[in-house]
Structure 1
């Protein structure tokens, strides 16, 4: 019996103690209460994440990191996702309050990404059951909907777990275990603020619970409110690109950070022959002068919000009722409502947003012979005859285009529409989740669980500051009637049109704004239904080494989602991108099984050898049948050492967005490989000068490059009928500036996708020496992991599609994956130019990540080390989690070059978290240290490439128990105010727009303080 106890203690202390300070307070208690030689103890069997088979304590066949309620309290964090993102196993999250400051959707959402493999490949469970997605159309859970004060622990398993829990668990599983059987009333509150006086945050929580029906039932509930304030770049001038109020140092460090979309407006003066446009400004004196960043540039930091403020209210409840000694009813309810309000500088609107060609494609001003009558005319801009065009500006346009009639002259513009006010997204998110079921014992060796799980997420967003393009265009063309400047179109005038003076700061009246402003938005929901049932049992006396454990179960799941933009956005009538409605649904039927077979037990050098098997067969309405399986061995040669290894094959079925996305519009910048192509004596070739956006005639007159005659790319291009038509018309293929910049495209789902598959291998050991009392306090685990994903859902990329489509004559197949999304103008003045480049999801990518995880913990009663009979010296505990990334790379599609991300921002080779606790009587002090290793930024932008040093962030908290009812605490995050400064504020280096750091990797808020209390009634 004593051997089994040591074995169970080994597993509990190593896995729990080695997790990210998995509740350091609990470690001290564990060390102090470890059974001695003459003590007896009772070891309960529970179900741990990674398997549904009940096991002693934390006996898991795979590495599990555990974060307990005590550790959550010691961080002072208000969001579970913020805690999980500090794990070395966690990667860079797509959605955080610092990275969605002006997202078109999902403002305020907080997600977790394990191993940097993507949130869609991380499965989130609550009490072992799926949670409805918070990002509509995906399987990504919003951690805002899971309250920190209702959690007993969080188990994190990295690596494939689809055989146990189903699709999406390629990177791993996060399982939130909530508190149960609570009696009493508990009030808690916390407040905090940064040392710069922003990001103020508050929360109030009330937890209550009671037994009922003669203690046969228990209900526990939690009601919480939370509010978090914003952060603006203008309040962070020591770390942002501020130039207001005389602050110039940051501007001097990084020139060229200003936007040419300015409140006074810039003019785009077209030059003849498609030579492009001159950028000019009408200054305070009325003169037309060249635009410069230094003289006129707009500093967006003055209005840019860096952190999205939010307000949330939630309710969580759980009820259990013992029907009899063998059967129990259980239920869970979660309700959440959150609001966010983001803000960013005014809308940048240009004439290319307002004026389109005959195909509806946005265009810059262009002057050439459009109608073939031998005379040039200018299009796609404000008529210079409009009364809103200053005389000096009209004269400047005439000077550039002599001989062209005023009726054929236009001028373009770029303007910051601050007159409308800042752009902003006001969004509301709601979530409801209800679980009900029965569990119990059928026989002493056989138990069951049957549950129904319903969840729904709703998202509603309203965006301010947008413009109805047709009305804006009406307001640009004005005439003088009876001494009053009015809109030329009488119908528009009757509807409220007022002229807008885009070349003058403050030149747009409130009445004009009321006419053309647009309030766009998005309405979306996702709904989930799950029926799950399984039996969990043991087969005694079958194996001489112990009972065989097994699980057999079935599951049925339905998912439905819809995302509906407002009518203006669906039709592309506002300045935002055209986005149609996306809706879709699927269902899946699954059967799963697990088997744990003890092979050896209580033998010399084989105290335990167990084989674990798991499998799941699924039938999706979208992708058909899939199979996932896993096999692992656990070998414990002696009481202080355990070896374990697992090989697993997992699957992820594509989600609703990946399958059914109707198309989200974008305006890509690409290089046409066919530019400069021509024919010489019937053979395809390129001109000496292939591209010159200032003057297409330079290309056509540069002469043919003899070395390119018969060039493979040129031959492929001359198989395209649209390119052939352009060459036949002009003698060669040379693009104008508007044609280069006028390409649009859509990102489209693909209902023909197949599942992703992964193969995961892990191997490691658990070490808990029993040589003496000092050594027994040490727990260490080391695990190697290798995760490889095939058929990853991705896209070729537009430039790649172009390059591969026209790689050679054989590659030009109009219906191929590379060529299928390429649409050129088949006729008209822009014949042959790229009109639309669509990309659709395909099963392409191969991804591999490989590394080592180390977890260690040690606890010590100081009185044992330094005997002091007259006083209590307290206890100290330490817990370390360290990850070393050996390899992280991907191949985007077959034949593509492999990319390596190990050692780059977000994927450093070394990461660690160290947590320290000192406890003495009612006093508890904790220190958390997060280490982020050196990284390289080159994979974002070669022009800004730099090597970033390692960073260390320190957090501290002191907690004091005034009496058995009242507990107070105070803490400081980022004690030393560390900040990783990176130049650029427009995502130049891949960072979130507006930031001068990577806020999803490094702490961007700086030093901040918090304090709170918990009062128990």
Structure 2
């Protein structure tokens, strides 16, 4: 009740002050005391709405200015932010070739390893566009327009609302610019691939009243291919080229009588006794009939980015400025997967080779088959277009003998995404091509005249590459189109200024209101949704919600210039949010700053935070995916092998006593890592989701000794606890809750097959529904340490040393009730490297028209799963709840070195040349990475996987 009263009072005060300010300006436009307000400059303080230097320094904010950004030699905002030691692996990266959906191809940021959805991205203090999944694509923000980037590594929901749990990235664009500037950039990996070309042009003009800036940029990044490097050429790494091979391009047929499997002969192979003529027995332990899918896959997707940006500021009066900004970005991304692993499947209407098909080795009997369509790789082209408009006004006025500022604005985002895919098979055409045949003019033809009229050609699917004509591939190939639209409209108003003076300084207040509406839809391809293709099916998504919010922030200086208390102040903020879908939430933040003597600042915060469920979370359609899990009922590796209670529950569910789980190839699993299911599982949304909530605690020191000018030390401790996490109840969790925890509520989420099929044994799970729920918790804590020293100028130039590190002491996740706490600090956890220590050390030098920088990026060693219990396994006896019994392999630390040299010519042109990973350092290969794996740090293998060099030229006019 007190919180709501505080907010109501603050809002009323804001409205009264706004009315008084307008009246005062109308009544006395020429008053002399407006001079102080007139001279004020717009100041953006990340993490606070109060424009005060004291408040700004009390926040744990890491800032990268334009020079620091250019020194990285990177052209994407996400790549720049990924260099921060506090950054983790984003939810989706350009290397996630196996991922699907409208967000694939975008560039994201993840602070504190809390997920990209829990990192809020602002531009000039205002929210940027997010997708239906709550992700902000940083590629839509052109680097050329950026003045600086502030990263608040603290909870800030009391100021900004939802999503500000892991941190806030605030991108500040140029405000004034006179003249013109052009940049040309070219970079390439050491292997000669992954070329990056970047061109941008900026023009600006300022007068006494008006300032306009226009920018345009274009970037083209060529794809990188798994086949080009030994680190990515094989699914299990260069030391194990025969491991992880999948279904091959030579057809495998199932004997309808015995169930034995035979493969079409190729090379020097000969027919096996008992097999059809021209076939040999399939041996699952042999690699001869398998295929390395890595060689057909992109390692990093190719991307084209185009951005236009226009910004204008017009000084309407001495105290009122109108602002307008508009941008349009277009992103085209293309990725490729190997051909589809086509097989008869377990559907109610499976695809079979007809007994009346001329190419059936068992005439008269319908047969099941396996065959990868390597001649037709699966290609996904994604086009994303974002239009952004920002309109507003801001100004200053005098009230209570203090300066006050106000701003009001409206932003609108419209994001349209089109996903086009080729390489999947149109099942009605496949059935026709594998159906009965006849002979017409001595040629084998489809028996149905209607099918022939649509282009049907009989398919000899069991024959190898080269046996299928391009005309038939065109007939089988399906071109799908998915579309996603999302829209955000945001109205806001803020006012802040001084209330009254205390002996220690001015008490400042900031209040504001905001109304935001979110809506969107996803329309999948109709044939995919209907199950008419081999593409994963998904259902449409459509939904909307709105929120009304109000906040108040109060800053109180308590002591100043006293012995033992050069400064002491507190800051209190509270934000009330009402969502149309789940109701209301109030989040508070309390912080303090204390300076016992001039050189030392102590700062700390306690903050509540939240993340509202997204439109996709609430209203997303059902999708499909092939999940990897361990069935507890497996009689060798599952819990049933050692737990009598679990075994009894499995038996009661109708699971055979000696049941063995099979993987996607139909073979029995070989470890407690389980296997990828042969059938697609379903996943969906939940309209009853509640927001995630968090508590963030920070405590830090900033030491700037007066006797060493230019030297600063910072140490900040952070502790973040997130609960009610919105997450899929994954297949592994569902079966564990059912059989191990004996929670019958989860047993209804899946079913088992009673009889064996071509790729499932009796008792196998043949359907499972993964839904969303507010399950689980996450706790993380650690330290950020910074040392920055700008040395006194010497006859050799100016030197600057900067060291920034993050030391992770705790990262604990609990997936749900009764689940074992997972504490993977120092482990390669799926795709996330939870490094104990990440550190950057940079030396920068400037002398007249010359400059150079050297950067060392350090990642501490990680524990990884072993290849096997006896191969690449430093601790075979080591076990933990999420790996099983294969032990642990300790991988060493790695450091990457980057260098840049620059020269500014007399004609205002600057040449830069640089090399990232100058020593071509190769990082460890991690077997626990769930995607294709990399040979270096999980997040940015595009640069770290080998040496990357670049040249750039900047011309100012």
With normalisation by structure 2, the TM-score equals: 0.85
**Corresponding residue for residue 720 of structure 2:** 787
**Corresponding residue for residue 993 of structure 1:** 932
**Corresponding residue for residue 266 of structure 2:** 283
Cα separation, partners in 2 of 1:175 and 1:948, compared to 1, 3 Å:
same
User: Within 5 Å, which residues of 2 pair with 1:418-817?
Assistant: 418-419=374-375, 421-443=376-398, 444-482=402-440, 483-505=442-464, 506-541=466-501, 543-668=502-627, 711=645, 714=648, 718=652, 723=654, 744-770=680-706, 772=707, 775-807=708-740, 811-812=743-744, 816=745
**Corresponding residue for residue 823 of structure 2:** 900
**Corresponding residue for residue 948 of structure 2:** 1008
Q: Any conservation in 1 of the 2:612–2:692 contact (CA below 8 Å)?
A: yes
- Distance (whole Å) between structure 2 residues aligned to residue 314 and residue 763 of structure 1: 40
- Distance (whole Å) between structure 2 residues aligned to residue 646 and residue 811 of structure 1: 40
Does residue 208 of structure 2 align to residue 208 of structure 1? no
Tell me which of the two structures has the higher relative contact order, counting C-alpha pairs closer than 8 angstroms and 6 or more residues apart. 1
Does residue 741 of structure 2 align to residue 819 of structure 1? no
C-alpha displacement of 1:119 = 0.5
Cα separation, partners in 2 of 1:707 and 1:166, compared to 1, 3 Å:
closer
C-alpha displacement of 1:692 = 12
Match of 2:357 among 361, 386, 407: 386
User: Within 5 Å, which residues of 2 pair with 1:232-381?
Assistant: 232-237=225-230, 239-241=231-233, 253-262=240-249, 264-269=250-255, 272=258, 277-284=260-267, 287-291=278-282, 293-352=286-345, 356-357=347-348, 381=352
Residue-by-residue CA offset, 1:380-434 (whole Å, 9 max, x unaligned): 74245521134xxx3xxxxxxxxxxx64x44332222233x32211111111110
Does residue 860 of structure 2 align to residue 922 of structure 1? no
- Distance (whole Å) between structure 1 residues aligned to residue 294 and residue 732 of structure 2: 32
C-alpha displacement of 1:894 = 2.1
- Distance (whole Å) between structure 1 residues aligned to residue 98 and residue 797 of structure 2: 45
- Distance (whole Å) between structure 2 residues aligned to residue 936 and residue 138 of structure 1: 31
**Corresponding residue for residue 897 of structure 2:** 954
- Distance (whole Å) between structure 2 residues aligned to residue 908 and residue 242 of structure 1: 25
- Distance (whole Å) between structure 2 residues aligned to residue 86 and residue 736 of structure 1: 42
**Corresponding residue for residue 115 of structure 2:** 118
**Corresponding residue for residue 838 of structure 2:** 911
1:176 match: secondary structure: strand
1:138 match: secondary structure: coil
Q: Any conservation in 2 of the 1:627–1:651 contact (CA below 8 Å)?
A: no
Match of 2:367 among 402, 411, 423: 411
Cα separation, partners in 2 of 1:942 and 1:55, compared to 1, 3 Å:
farther
- Distance (whole Å) between structure 1 residues aligned to residue 245 and residue 764 of structure 2: 31
- Distance (whole Å) between structure 1 residues aligned to residue 145 and residue 913 of structure 2: 21
- Distance (whole Å) between structure 2 residues aligned to residue 621 and residue 47 of structure 1: 30
Cα separation, partners in 2 of 1:470 and 1:178, compared to 1, 3 Å:
same
**Corresponding residue for residue 192 of structure 1:** 187
**Corresponding residue for residue 862 of structure 2:** 935
- Distance (whole Å) between structure 2 residues aligned to residue 945 and residue 803 of structure 1: 23
**Corresponding residue for residue 699 of structure 1:** none
Q: Any conservation in 2 of the 1:312–1:337 contact (CA below 8 Å)?
A: yes
C-alpha displacement of 1:258 = 2.6
Cα separation, partners in 2 of 1:919 and 1:715, compared to 1, 3 Å:
closer
Residue-by-residue CA offset, 1:711-765 (whole Å, 9 max, x unaligned): 57636864x6xx5xx99xxxx8979978996654311111111111100110011
Cα separation, partners in 2 of 1:626 and 1:859, compared to 1, 3 Å:
same
C-alpha displacement of 1:104 = 4.2
C-alpha displacement of 1:46 = 2.9
**Corresponding residue for residue 701 of structure 1:** none
Q: Any conservation in 2 of the 1:538–1:548 contact (CA below 8 Å)?
A: yes
Residue-by-residue CA offset, 1:275-326 (whole Å, 9 max, x unaligned): x643533235663223454434323333221111111111112110111111
User: Within 5 Å, which residues of 2 pair with 1:210-229?
Assistant: 210-212=205-207, 215-229=208-222
Q: Any conservation in 1 of the 2:248–2:289 contact (CA below 8 Å)?
A: no
Indicate the RMSD between aligned Cα atoms, in angstroms. Answer: 3.1
Q: Choose 1 or 2 for highest CA Rg.
A: 1
Cα separation, partners in 2 of 1:341 and 1:583, compared to 1, 3 Å:
same
C-alpha displacement of 1:348 = 2.2
- Distance (whole Å) between structure 2 residues aligned to residue 250 and residue 793 of structure 1: 34
Does residue 98 of structure 2 align to residue 164 of structure 1? no
- Distance (whole Å) between structure 2 residues aligned to residue 756 and residue 469 of structure 1: 42
Cα separation, partners in 2 of 1:195 and 1:707, compared to 1, 3 Å:
closer
- Distance (whole Å) between structure 1 residues aligned to residue 42 and residue 415 of structure 2: 35
Q: Any conservation in 2 of the 1:43–1:57 contact (CA below 8 Å)?
A: no
With normalisation by structure 1, the TM-score equals: 0.81
Residue-by-residue CA offset, 1:251-296 (whole Å, 9 max, x unaligned): 664432432222x323334564xxx643533235663223454434
1:856 match: secondary structure: strand
User: Within 5 Å, which residues of 2 pair with 1:836-985?
Assistant: 836-861=767-792, 863=794, 872-905=795-828, 906-938=833-865, 943=886, 945-963=888-906, 965-982=908-925
Match of 1:88 among 85, 93, 108: 85
- Distance (whole Å) between structure 2 residues aligned to residue 739 and residue 976 of structure 1: 43
Q: Any conservation in 1 of the 2:97–2:337 contact (CA below 8 Å)?
A: no
1:141 match: secondary structure: coil
- Distance (whole Å) between structure 2 residues aligned to residue 955 and residue 692 of structure 1: 46
Cα separation, partners in 2 of 1:231 and 1:803, compared to 1, 3 Å:
closer
Cα separation, partners in 2 of 1:743 and 1:501, compared to 1, 3 Å:
closer
Q: Any conservation in 1 of the 2:692–2:724 contact (CA below 8 Å)?
A: yes
C-alpha displacement of 1:799 = 3.3
- Distance (whole Å) between structure 1 residues aligned to residue 151 and residue 937 of structure 2: 25
Q: Any conservation in 2 of the 1:270–1:278 contact (CA below 8 Å)?
A: no
Unaligned 5+ segments in structure 2 are 1-38, 271-276, 669-676, 866-881
Count, aligned residues? 868
